[in-house]
Structures are given as structure tokens and as C-alpha cells.
């Protein structure tokens, strides 16, 4: 399946065509309808999810509750599997869609909104009405932290929005951001599981976080949480977040023991909860690797857990390409080196861009400096959801010819304006919303000299 809409403009060489084909293969591997079909079956009596089976004669109601960027695809697939055995449901997602039995509510990402709050409250109402003869299929996918936006009773939506904005600009990693968001929420940090108890809950999880930690994906609505109010306060202090008074007051009150913590491992809320990981960043990297190998390249998956500041991580990747060219390590050209994970951007300028665009531009500067015109190296990097940072592009494709003025490229990076620089050179990748999200996907193609 082709996801890159402007592939014709971005292609033109074997290395570029390979990079684009690997992107398509990686994104397609995370297609939620595909991963549900691989993991979920129903024979009219037994619903099988991964290694577990559920006799639906034991349940009066089967609900689909959750959301995130892959929420529609998962819900649609579940409707196809269960048909009229599915009773009801609500998913909160970024784009409208029509489903037959599950209500689709549009929310907003990366900053929560009123409509996300409304949808999440509807979802929680269904969860709280569930009983021991209810089976809840909880859809937990990337983007759910913002889309599932019901805040705690003493925190307003505006408080939540301002805190989220500050965290996004701070350079905090997703685990740190979510430690804060879980303690300001009525659904995150295991609270959906608590609301649904004593129902049986099966979490259907598509991971967009490094290491696939269930407590971090969409801020872990169906998973035990080991972070605390004190941890959340530490994040605010470490990144010098100017949080609204109500936010800081809630966290301080919780740290002092005045508010109950999110449910921990062993809490009775999880007695009838099972979470199943349907897809992850590594699944996409593996599919991209297979595509490269069918094209005759040696391959190396560098890591699915790359994190840190985007522009700095890019320099390491450029060094890997240089090492491959001059020493044949970690793989000899022609080769494809793959990585995933989630890098971050500390916003200090007024420009437009995102982590993958900053990564690409920083790498392009290194390419141009090291071997402009002397080696055929291409880097393609995207956010698999199709939106990099606050832009409507997924990322970029660059090579040693992308940067013809290193000083101007560095100035763009300093102003966090990678998009303008790359767009002017026809280097941005356009996919539109892909309907999934398993984090960043990077493809480094190194041809023979």
C-alpha cells in the first residue's frame, strides 16, 4: 500500500525509491485493521484475542471504549469481527468516520479540547455502567493522552491545555509528560479500568512509546501506574514548567496524601483486566527491513528506542552512515540502516517544524559537510501518524545535496523552522493522516561509493 502521496517528487534515484518503499512498508505494517485481523477472531461463541479466549455466552454486553489515532481502524475491525454481537461503544479520535455500532467522537491532538472532553465523558459513562456480565474491549492507541481528555474534578480544560502546551515545548520525554497528565485525569493511569470494574476488560494496544510500556501508551488507561504525584511535580520543576495554580495545587495535595494515587499493580481494579499488544514500532521496522532485503540491501535495525533531542540524535545517525561507508560497520553498503523511537524538540524559536523534520535537516547538514557529491546517502524519517509536530507533513527525505548553505540550515534549526527550509527544497513527506501511530520511523540508505 502506498502512503507517501508525493513519492514521485521525492524519488528519482534507487536510494530514494528504496527509502520511500521502506516507509510505506513500515506504516502499512501498523495498519490497525491488519493487526486486529491477525490477533482477534470470533467463531460465534468464543472471542479469541491473542492467546486468550472469552465465551461470549457469559456476557450480556460487549463494548468498545477508547481512542487514539488508530481508534477508528481498531473499532472498524472489531465491528467486522463481532457484527451484531457488539452492543455499543465510543472511540475518541482525531478524524470523523462512520461506524455502524461504535460512536466516533472527534477530539483534538496534541492539545486537548472541549469535544475530546465530551467524548471521553460519554465513554466513562458507559464504563461506569458496566457490570460483571460486560466485556469491555478497550482501544488504547497513540494519541490517546490528548484525545481522551477528561480532566480531574479540580482541574479545568484550560488548565490542562496550558500545561500540555508547556510540556510539549519543554523537550520532556513522553514518559515524563504522561506522568503529569495521568495525575490530572479522570481516565488515564488505570482509571478507565477502575471505572469499568467489575467488568472484564481486554486492552487492545497499539504502542507509540519507546519500550512499549503499557502504563505510558495513551497514558495507560487500563494499566497499573507506578508514577506518583511527587513524580509529576518533579517533571514540572525539572523543566521549569509554569503550570496553572490549580495544577500545581492538585499535584502538591496529592503528593501530601490528600488525593488517592493512581491504581498500582495488585489493585483490585485490574483483577479482570488483560492488555494485549497488537503492534509496535519494532513491527514497523521489521516490515521495512523485509522490504529493503527484497531489494537486495543488507540491513541493520540500529534501535527501536532512539530518544533525546532530535538534532543531536541525527548526528549519530549521520556518523553511522559514515562508518558504513568507510569501514563497513555496522553493515556494508549497499545497506539500509533502520531506527525508530521518539526524539524530542526543545522549542526556543518561532518557526514551524517537528522532531522528524529537525532530525532530517540536522542529518542533511552533516551529509553536506562530510561528503557532498561524494557518496549516495539518503535519509527518510517520518512520524507514522502522518503529522510531525504541529505540521501537516509526516517528515522529510534528505541527502547530501539537500543543504547547499549550511549556515542557513543551521539558522533554520536554531529558529525551530525546519519545515520552511525543507519545504522550499521539496523535501517534506506528505502522507495525510495514516490512521495509525507507532512512533517515528527512520530509513538510512547507504549505496556503494
pLDDT of 390 reads: 87
Residues 267 and 305 in one domain: no
Q: How many domains does the chain have?
A: 2
Q: For all residues of the chain together, what is the average pLDDT?
A: 96
pLDDT in tens, 294-331: 999 999 999 999 999 999 999 999 999 999 999 999 99
Question: In the predicted model, is pLDDT for residue 41 greater than 90?
Answer: yes
pLDDT of 370 reads: 79
Residues 419 and 343 in one domain: yes
Question: In the predicted model, is pLDDT for residue 20 greater than 90?
Answer: yes
Residues 221 and 322 in one domain: no
Asked if 223 contacts 275 with a C-beta cutoff of 8 angstroms, the reply is yes
Whole domain around residue 442: which residue ranges? Answer: 288-446
Q: Which residues contact 316 (CB under 8 A, 6 or more apart)?
A: none
CATH of the domain at 56: 3.40.50.10180
Q: Which of 212, 246, 279 is the last residue of a domain?
A: 279
Stretch 192-221: mean pLDDT: 97
Residues 209 and 304 in one domain: no
pLDDT range class, residue 59, cuts 50, 70, 90: very high
Is 238 among the domain residues?
no
pLDDT in tens, 87-142: 999 999 999 999 999 999 999 999 999 999 999 999 999 999 999 999 999 999 99
pLDDT range class, residue 373, cuts 50, 70, 90: low
pLDDT in tens, 427-444: 999 999 999 999 999 999
444: β partners: 337, 379
Q: Is 370 helix (H, G, I), strand (E, B) or coil?
A: helix
Q: Which residues contact 418 (CB under 8 A, 6 or more apart)?
A: 351, 352, 353, 354, 357, 358, 360, 361, 396, 412
CATH of the domain at 315: 3.40.1480.10
> With 0-12 CB in 10 A as exposed, 13-18 as middle and 19+ as buried, what is 85?
middle
Q: Is the dihedral of CA 264, 270, 274, 278 positive or negative?
A: negative
CA atoms within 13 A on the CB side of 430: 10
Is 162 among the domain residues?
no
CA distances, 158 to each of 140, 243, 247 (Å): 24, 11, 10
pLDDT range class, residue 374, cuts 50, 70, 90: low
Is 247 among the domain residues?
no
- Residue 40 phi/psi, 5-degree rounding, is -125, 130
Residues 271 and 297 in one domain: no
Question: In the predicted model, is pLDDT for residue 1 greater than 90?
Answer: no
C-alpha 7/C-alpha 2 separation (Å) is 9
- Residue 241 phi/psi, 5-degree rounding, is -80, 125
C-alpha 436/C-alpha 198 separation (Å) is 30
C-alpha 351/C-alpha 183 separation (Å) is 31
pLDDT range class, residue 369, cuts 50, 70, 90: confident
Stretch 403-431: mean pLDDT: 97
C-alpha 176/C-alpha 145 separation (Å) is 12
Stretch 11-17: mean pLDDT: 96
Residues 266 and 299 in one domain: no
pLDDT of 372 reads: 59
Count CB atoms within 10 A of the CB of residue 380: 31
Among 264, 300, 276, 303, CA closest to 440? 303
Q: Which residues contact 411 (CB under 8 A, 6 or more apart)?
A: none
pLDDT > 70: percent of the chain = 99
Amino acid at each position: 500500500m502506498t502512503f507517501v502521496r508525493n513519492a514521485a517528487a521525492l524519488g528519482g534515484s534507487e536510494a530514494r525509491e528504496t527509502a520511500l518503499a521502506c516507509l510505506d512498508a513500515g506504516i502499512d505494517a501498523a495498519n490497525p485493521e491488519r493487526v486486529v485481523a491477525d490477533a482477534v477472531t470470533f467463531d460465534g461463541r468464543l472471542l479469541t484475542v491473542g492467546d486468550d479466549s472469552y465465551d461470549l455466552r457469559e456476557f450480556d454486553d460487549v463494548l468498545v471504549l477508547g481512542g487514539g489515532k488508530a481508534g477508528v481502524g481498531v473499532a472498524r475491525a472489531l465491528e467486522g469481527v463481532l457484527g451484531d454481537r457488539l452492543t455499543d461503544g465510543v472511540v475518541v479520535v482525531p478524524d470523523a468516520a462512520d461506524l455502524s455500532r461504535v460512536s466516533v467522537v472527534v477530539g483534538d491532538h496534541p492539545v486537548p479540547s472541549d469535544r475530546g472532553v465530551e467524548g471521553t465523558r460519554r465513554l466513562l459513562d458507559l464504563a461506569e455502567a458496566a457490570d460483571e456480565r460486560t466485556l469491555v474491549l478497550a482501544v488504547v492507541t497513540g494519541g490517546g493522552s490528548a484525545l481522551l481528555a477528561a480532566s480531574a474534578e479540580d482541574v479545568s480544560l484550560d488548565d490542562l491545555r496550558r500545561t500540555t502546551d508547556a510540556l510539549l515545548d519543554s523537550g520532556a520525554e513522553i514518559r515524563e509528560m504522561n506522568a503529569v497528565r495521568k495525575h490530572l485525569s479522570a481516565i488515564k493511569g488505570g482509571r478507565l479500568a477502575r471505572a469499568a470494574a467489575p467488568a472484564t476488560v481486554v486492552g487492545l494496544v497499539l504502542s507509540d512509546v519507546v519500550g512499549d510500556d503499557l502504563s505510558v501508551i495513551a497514558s495507560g488507561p487500563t494499566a497499573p501506574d507506578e508514577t506518583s504525584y511527587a513524580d509529576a511535580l518533579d517533571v514540572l520543576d525539572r523543566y521549569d514548567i509554569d503550570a496553572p495554580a490549580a495544577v500545581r495545587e492538585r499535584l502538591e495535595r496529592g503528593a501530601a496524601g490528600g488525593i488517592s494515587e493512581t491504581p498500582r499493580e495488585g489493585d483490585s481494579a485490574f483483577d479482570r483486566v488483560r492488555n494485549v499488544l497488537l503492534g509496535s514500532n519494532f513491527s514497523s521496522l521489521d516490515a521495512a527491513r523485509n522490504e529493503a532485503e527484497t531489494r537486495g540491501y543488507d540491513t541493520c535495525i540500529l534501535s527501536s528506542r532512539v530518544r533525546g533531542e532530535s538534532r543531536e540524535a541525527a548526528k549519530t545517525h549521520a556518523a553511522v552512515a559514515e562508518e558504513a561507508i568507510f569501514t563497513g560497520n555496522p553493515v556494508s553498503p549497499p545497506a539500509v540502516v533502520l531506527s525508530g523511537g521518539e526524539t524530542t524538540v526543545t522549542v526556543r524559536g518561532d518557526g514551524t517544524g517537528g522532531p522528524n523534520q529537525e532530525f532530517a535537516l540536522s542529518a542533511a547538514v552533516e551529509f553536506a559537510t562530510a561528503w557532498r557529491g561524494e557518496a549516495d546517502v539518503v535519509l527518510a524519517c517520518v512520524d507514522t501518524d502522518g503529522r510531525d509536530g504541529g505540521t501537516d507533513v509526516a517528515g522529510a527525505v534528505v541527502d547530501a545535496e539537500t543543504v547547499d548553505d549550511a549556515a542557513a540550515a543551521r539558522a533554520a534549526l536554531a529558529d525551530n523552522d525546519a519545515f520552511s527550509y525543507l519545504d522550499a527544497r521539496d523535501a517534506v513527506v506528505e502522507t495525510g493522516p495514516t490512521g495509525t501511530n507507532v512512533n517515528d520511523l527512520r530509513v538510512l540508505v547507504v549505496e556503494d561509493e
